[in-house]
Structure 1
């Protein structure tokens, strides 16, 4: 298999690393504007091969994602394309991949773009390739687990009543005042904190304010985490809320943080610090969010910080008047041996697993989200091989 990874940031690098663990992957092109400063865990796949006089399996490749011809030339040489670029590239990249005859998956994060990608379904089937948006942690892993729970309850003859998803990337050693460290794009975090979130209530889709309806969440098997707080943010349900409107009464996605985080971020939002409209400051027009990012980025970047990912998915229903449920939990931590963060493991590895399933022929041609087409048990087994242990809730 020849694989192309677009985007050499944290998630793209983790995806490339995971691909290289499969001997059937003979080539991984990791493409971005700048590929001169890759993480140390990728060095053995370029340096060792060069020293041995062999052709490296990892090929860092300079690429401007806006250069259509260059992008398409690389796609024509690839069996599958995994995109870890910013979400606004996902639409055109999916289209290029279909037209070049390559499988495609991305990290998603924007539901409107997912619906745009769905329009490629007929073309993808004709090209005999698959396109899967939303293949990271959330959306991605959590949606696969949610669908698995729905399927299991329905196969057992139960009526599904609710789907509740909780997930968060957290520092193992929180520091005030926000008890948070950057584990992916801070700009993306602020987007989620300022965008209305879709939920399903009484079988109908509604939008609720981000950072609202805070509730406590404790992981009994991991008491060291203490009690976390959960609150609404956008994007995690993706298209599931649309698919199950009128079919499942309640569906919602919430982000996990240490207590007090949501209230502080809500106060900053309401004071206008995350606004996108320029304001005048001493005769200079500035965008409040740009200032917030400039101030927060260096303070929340912890080069020596160790992160964790906490996840819970619970699907509940009734059978013969009796309450039944299926659920899963995960607490994954920074890989000290390789220097790979928990967020990179759960997001970048998930993208890699999906791309490999596509290239191996395990996914039918067409456009589908992970919850619609990724075989859950096989996916969970692949995660376990990587030490990402998803545990059923008793």
Structure 2
């Protein structure tokens, strides 16, 4: 029997989720939004839609009658309302939020529920945590876990060396909120835009710095089991200094709406992007100090006959893979579901998870013995 899915939010990522799920024939997908233009685009491609004010919790709850699951592709600040509506309507819940506060609230909503609530199902948080946890489990004793992800323009031209490839609200939020980390075995909060480091991959120079939300629930899962755990966003060199100037010196962190307007006016979007994933896990195995490395470099390409940017492919592909694994019974069927509960092999073997592979992907998984 097909799973009936309510897709809440028909923006850039929502459109991609709709196409991927609709293409399989195993999901009855209906897209909800209040933007008539976004819905019209899906209607023209044969995907059913329904106009709903998604900020109106009672209206959303009523619209959810008869559905099996809800996929939330809205901005992070609506996640709690949408999760509450899902619980009230008796449907399973999946989202893409990177917001720590929203995730904690959704966990409380999921407590003792017969429904499954699975937030953070995107790239980071999401896939990056699945990889890090899988690598950590291969070690007898884990010393250090480093998680690095970048959604970057393939051809940077402006001073920021950046283009808008995903949610501006999410981008600003991760640049402004405190970041979880484990240092010297203790969980602590670190400041966003700090902890700058530089590295090169495939001959290209990058910088990385603290941003919020990318660890998901890994700090709790690996508490007492790892000395160092952190997540950093990857950008081209120079980006962090300019953002720190905007957010700190010009105090735009206190005027997020103004910053959003500025970025939308001045920084173009692009579909010619690249997603960089870089995870290293160091520790002991069979008495030897080793390091496992997992990398992916994913470019924009066609998926299901539709051109998609790299961030669309990785974000929509991840949540679709996890929904598909849930449908197949691979994941827990009730309560709060963490990303770490997703088996990496099952994810990569899934029809949607395979979007992380292919001819346009440079993929390596290497193990080094350290002297």
Normalising by the residue count of structure 1, what TM-score does the alignment of the two structures yield? 0.84
Give the distance between the partners of 1:327 and 1:312, measured in 2 at CA. 7
**Do structure 1's residue 132 and structure 2's residue 118 form an aligned pair?**
yes
Give the distance between the partners of 2:91 and 2:51, measured in 1 at CA. 20
Say if 1:200 and 1:249, in contact at 8 Å, map to a contact too.
yes
What's 2:142 paired with?
A: 160
Give the distance between the partners of 1:111 and 1:82, measured in 2 at CA. 18
Which 4+ residue blocks in structure 1 deviate beyond 6 angstroms? none
**Do structure 1's residue 60 and structure 2's residue 49 form an aligned pair?**
yes
Structure 2 counterpart SS, 1:104: strand
Give the distance between the partners of 1:94 and 1:254, measured in 2 at CA. 27
Give the distance between the partners of 2:310 and 2:287, measured in 1 at CA. 40
Where in structure 2 are there 5+ consecutive unaligned residues?
Answer: none
Give the distance between the partners of 1:39 and 1:392, measured in 2 at CA. 43
Structure 2 counterpart SS, 1:145: helix
What's 2:326 paired with?
A: 358
What's 1:322 paired with?
A: 288
Over 3 Å counting, the alpha-carbon distance change for 1:35 and 1:213 in structure 2 is same
1:143-184 per-position Cα deviation (integer Å, ceiling 9, x unaligned) = 11111112222xxxx101111100011000001211000011
Structure 2 counterpart SS, 1:264: helix
What's 1:252 paired with?
A: 230
What's 1:45 paired with?
A: 45
2:136 counterpart (146, 150, 157): 150
Where in structure 1 are there 5+ consecutive unaligned residues?
Answer: 47-57, 277-286
The alpha-carbon deviation at position 193 of structure 1 amounts to: 1.7
Over 3 Å counting, the alpha-carbon distance change for 1:300 and 1:388 in structure 2 is farther
1:270 counterpart (248, 256, 260): 248
Normalising by the residue count of structure 2, what TM-score does the alignment of the two structures yield? 0.89
Give the distance between the partners of 1:124 and 1:106, measured in 2 at CA. 17
CA RMSD, 1 decimal: 2.2
1:332-370 per-position Cα deviation (integer Å, ceiling 9, x unaligned) = 111256221111111112112222222333222333344
Over 3 Å counting, the alpha-carbon distance change for 1:353 and 1:74 in structure 2 is farther
The alpha-carbon deviation at position 43 of structure 1 amounts to: 6.5
Say if 2:31 and 2:39, in contact at 8 Å, map to a contact too.
no
Which of the pair is proportionally richer in strand? Answer: 2
What's 2:103 paired with?
A: 114
- Structure with larger Rg: 1
Alignment of 1:185-334 (within 5 A): 185-219=167-201, 222-223=202-203, 226-276=204-254, 287=255, 289-303=256-270, 305-334=271-300
Say if 1:104 and 1:132, in contact at 8 Å, map to a contact too.
yes
What's 1:53 paired with?
A: none
Aligned length: 358
